[in-house]
Amino acid sequence: MPIPDKYDDYQTALNSPITGGFDIIPADGMDLAQVTRAVMVSEGGDLAVVFKNGDTLTLPGLMPGVIYPLRATQVLAAGSTATGIKGLI
């Protein structure tokens, strides 16, 4: 029997709770499986990303366990030192 979800018929928005996620392995020039709503790292460091609008930026000194609300299409190997990267959707 499925678990009841009284919010199942609500539309998901950017301010809605995270409902899924996937592991991210940084790779230059490779799109992620899906645009993220947020990312989290398990080992802190820098994270080089390509945002949904095409801008590329290195985010310095990300802290482990913090949810960073960013819409990324790529996480680049060049410039990224953070590990254990999770894409949240």
pLDDT per residue, tens digit, the chain (89 aa), is: 889 988 888 888 888 889 999 999 999 999 999 999 999 999 999 999 999 999 999 999 999 999 999 999 999 999 999 999 999 99
DSSP string computed for 28-42:
TT---SS--SEEE-S
User: What is the pLDDT, as a whole number, of residue 6?
Assistant: 86
pTM given for the model = 0.89
CA distances (Å), origin 67, targets 4, 32, 63, 76, 89: 27, 18, 9, 18, 11
Question: What 3 state SS string does 41-52 have?
Answer: CCECEEEEEEEC
Dist. CA 82–CA 68, nearest whole Å: 13
